[in-house]
Amino acid sequence: MPSDLDVLLADAAEVIPEDELREKLARRTPLRVKLGLDPTAPAVTLGWAVVLRKLRDFQRLGHTAVLIVGDFTARVGDPSGKSETRPRLPKETVQRFADDLLEQFWLILDRDVTEVRYNSEWLEPMDMEDVLRMTAATTVARMLERDDFSKRYAGGQPISLMEFMYPLLQGMDSVAVEADVELGGTDQKFNLLMGRDLQRDHGQEPQVAFTMPLLEGLDGVQKMSQSLGNYVGVTEPADEMFGKLMSIPDELIDRYTELCTDLEPDEGHPNERKRRMARAVVDLYHPGAGEQAEARFDQVFKRHEVPEDLDEVAIPDVAIRQGRVSVPHLLASVGLAASNSQARRLIKQGGVKVDGAPVDDPEALMDPSQLTGKVIQVGHRKMVRIAP
């Protein structure tokens, strides 16, 4: 049977320093394990879930999960991995995202034993003296050791002083909650180590920096990101989730299996391994729905059938132009495209069909009778039937 340490170290990228984690665990007292997440987007992705699942491992072993909702730091913007300054988010937008995300966190964490803190609680009241003391804990030279900052500096790209502040603000979170361990992706390593420095500066025992691998997105190249659209959200419908997972490159099957499921990678044909992984992921977030999602996937992609229980939608008034239906406006208004401009791009790319026939005019106007009872399809997985 694996030890607690074996369970915790499974799939970890780096633990700094590992001997300190061993010492902390040997004390047999619950550790305060911190994870900070900035609400800068509305969905929890499988990429976020990698580190959330590791926090759950600590939680199941009796340690205290301290979830920091970065409602203050989200307004500053984490520069990790960014090649340019991030735009600031309004307070209202951040709060809306935070409300949405918290409900999704409970699909992975145990709500009843999770300590939730908002970092505006201690960061907003800081005065200039507090800020100056915080900045005295590091140097510009140390900040420029950070990979993304050093690349931008060498390339003559601007770095705002506000961005320099971000690692310090994240470090202050660790001071405020007296973290024993802080979790994050590998792109958070510098920030986690800054937390150690600030804790020492405040007379606390420094936290262990515990990083998890970054999950590549559906494109197989870049980190999973909502801004890039290469993500799977944990609250997406089971069929959508299964279909997206079946689209990942074969070389990522084992990685998704290890980081996104409770299964071990296995041998066999890539298609069967991918299906096994996709079923397992769907079952985690839609218990018992994996096999049904697979069956519907086969119905659409192997047998090219239209599902019997396809959603029916009426043509919204907003899509009508002088008695005719604007196809781009129709796609956007029924949720098949994020916007009219995206709908036009999808049409240009040949990704829109009406009862199997491609729509090739990005400004297409159709008579309502041409659409009644027909299936509107975008890509391979999104489709609705127009109600009579």
* pLDDT score for 333: 86
**What distance lies between CA 56 and its chain's CA centroid?**
16
Question: pTM for the full model?
Answer: 0.79
Provide the pLDDT for residue 306: 61
Q: Is 308 exposed, middle or buried (0-12, 13-18, 19+ CB in 10 A)?
A: exposed
Cβ atoms 174, 68 nearer than 8 A? no
The 10 Å CB-count burial string (b at 16+, else e) for 201-214 is bbebebbbbbbbbb
pLDDT at 154: 86
C-alpha gyration radius of the chain: 24
Q: 39 vs 72, 73, 96, 222, CA distance in Å?
A: 10, 9, 8, 21
Question: What is the Cα–Cα distance from 266 to 257, expressed in whole angstroms?
Answer: 9
For position 6, what pLDDT does the model report? 92
Residue 124 burial class via C-beta count within 10 angstroms: exposed 0-12, middle 13-18, buried 19 and up: exposed
Going from the N-terminus, what domains does the chain have, and what CATH number goes with each?
A: 4-212 (3.40.50.620), 238-301 (no CATH), 312-386 (3.10.290.10)
Note the pLDDT of residue 387. Answer: 80
Q: Is the dihedral of CA 218, 192, 93, 98 positive or negative?
A: positive
Question: How high is the pLDDT of residue 236?
Answer: 92
Q: Which two tokens stand for residue 169?
A: 């603000």
Residue 30's pLDDT is what?
A: 97
The 10 Å Cβ neighbour count of residue 170 is 29
* β-bridge pairing 324-326 and 352-354: unpaired
* Residue-by-residue pLDDT tens, the chain, 388 positions: 778 999 999 999 999 999 999 999 999 999 999 999 998 888 999 999 999 999 999 999 999 999 999 999 988 766 665 545 556 678 888 889 888 899 999 999 999 999 999 999 999 999 999 999 999 888 888 888 888 888 888 888 888 888 888 899 999 999 999 999 999 999 999 999 999 999 999 999 999 999 999 999 999 989 998 888 899 999 999 998 999 999 999 999 999 999 999 999 999 999 999 999 999 999 999 999 999 999 988 887 765 566 666 678 888 888 888 888 888 888 888 888 888 888 888 888 777 888 777 888 888 888 888 888 778 888 766 778 888 7
- Return d(Cα 381, Cα 346) in angstroms, integer: 14
pLDDT of residue 138: 87
